[in-house]
């Protein structure tokens, strides 16, 4: 479905009219869960995940057969401040690797039967250096939001949104700090492996940006200190809500993007779960602010949607048990 917005204000209007969970499906899923051949609560969090998934799919006995992974790639003008251990051309090189099936996210998507697509977002035109000017114009951020929105397949039944972009941990840190408060040092980390001097430059860049821009509005914060790939993730998560497609959030960068929706509209992330806890230090704090408990903690810090893609298997297992198990009556087992 093509995005039905062309300004930030019209995007805000769409968010205000967001789809709500199907309470009848939740009730039906709870009832079914109570009849399955297991002691109450024996499958722990898998039971909660299946019921949550059922509510968003509007089906008390759902299936999960068509997961989708979308990767958004963008370049950042703030790289001019020496905030990354890698040059900006690596973004385009990794996009080519995605397209040829050579990245970790390709293997994870294939493992769990997910359709994967990658969107290179004006890589030859990096965002402005947000230490001197807003990262994007309104037209640029709206275009990026539309790209994310339009990337979501309405026929999919689960979404993972990933990213690639040299310098984007700096943008994510600036965005998280703008949205959730604290000091720049609370949110900046080593990303792909910057040394102490690089970390100091990242922290200084974030602090300078937040002194320069008015980021009191979440979407303006995205425009001023975010990036195209972060905006793409925001648009994709919002579109998934419209289609009743549950979302697994990836690591620090993806979760920073999701925080825009969290601050923009109450309950805007109710259709999402956190796939994993990233090794990027501020991710734990970010998840706590959003009230999300990660499904996995494997020390991942790759990005690309890799942690969230790995968690697809957890959600598939939850749904398979919920919908595939026999009830006590069906199995002829005494329920005590």
Active site residues: 304
Largest CA distance in the chain: 70
The DSSP 8-state label assigned to residue 187 in this structure reads H
**Tokens 């972060």, residue located:** 230
- DSSP SS3 for 215: coil
The contacts of residue 18 (CB under 8 Å, 6+ apart) are 238, 241, 242, 265, 267, 268
DSSP sequence for 248-265 = EE-SHHHHHHHHHHHHHS
Instruction: Find, among 85, 241, 77, the residue nearest to 148 by Cα.
Output: 241
Phi-psi region of 332 (alpha: psi -120 to 50; beta: other; left: phi over 0): left
**Tokens 């640029």, residue located:** 140
C-beta of residue 54 within 8 angstroms of C-beta of residue 18: no
The DSSP 8-state label assigned to residue 80 in this structure reads G
Counting beta carbons within 10 angstroms of the beta carbon of residue 243, is it exposed (0 to 12), middle (13 to 18) or buried (19 or more)?
middle
């Amino acid at each position: 479905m093509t995005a039905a917005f062309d300004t930030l204000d019209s995007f805000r209007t769409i968010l205000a009219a967001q789809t709500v969970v199907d309470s009848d499906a939740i009730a039906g899923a709870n009832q079914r869960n109570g009849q399955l051949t297991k002691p109450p609560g024996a499958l722990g969090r898998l039971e909660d995940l299946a019921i949550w998934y059922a509510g968003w799919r509007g089906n008390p006995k759902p299936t999960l057969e068509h997961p989708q992974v979308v990767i958004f790639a963008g370049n950042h003008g703030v790289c001019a401040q020496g905030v990354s251990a890698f040059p900006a051309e690596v973004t385009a090189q990794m996009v080519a690797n995605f397209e040829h099936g050579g990245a970790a996210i390709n293997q994870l998507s294939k493992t769990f039967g997910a359709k994967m697509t990658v969107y290179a977002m004006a890589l030859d035109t990096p965002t402005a250096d947000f230490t001197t000017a807003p990262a994007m114009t309104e037209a640029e951020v709206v275009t990026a939001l539309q790209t994310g929105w339009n990337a979501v397949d309405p026929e999919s039944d689960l979404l993972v949104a990933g990213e690639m972009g040299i310098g984007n941990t700096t943008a994510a840190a600036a965005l998280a700090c703008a949205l959730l408060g604290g000091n720049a040092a609370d949110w900046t980390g080593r990303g792909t492996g910057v040394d102490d001097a690089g970390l100091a430059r990242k922290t200084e860049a974030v602090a300078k940006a937040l002194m320069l821009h008015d980021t009191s509005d979440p979407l303006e914060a995205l425009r001023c200190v975010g990036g195209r790939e972060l905006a793409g993730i925001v648009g994709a998560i919002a579109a998934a809500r419209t289609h009743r497609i549950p979302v697994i959030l990836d690591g620090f960068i993806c979760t920073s993007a999701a925080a825009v929706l969290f601050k923009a509209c109450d309950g805007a992330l109710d259709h999402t779960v956190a796939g994993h806890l990233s090794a990027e230090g501020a991710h734990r704090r970010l998840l706590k602010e959003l009230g999300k408990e990660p499904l996995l903690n494997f020390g991942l810090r790759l990005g690309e949607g890799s942690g969230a893609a790995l968690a697809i298997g957890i959600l598939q297992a939850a749904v398979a048990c919920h919908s595939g198990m026999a009830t006590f009556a069906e199995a002829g087992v005494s329920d005590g």
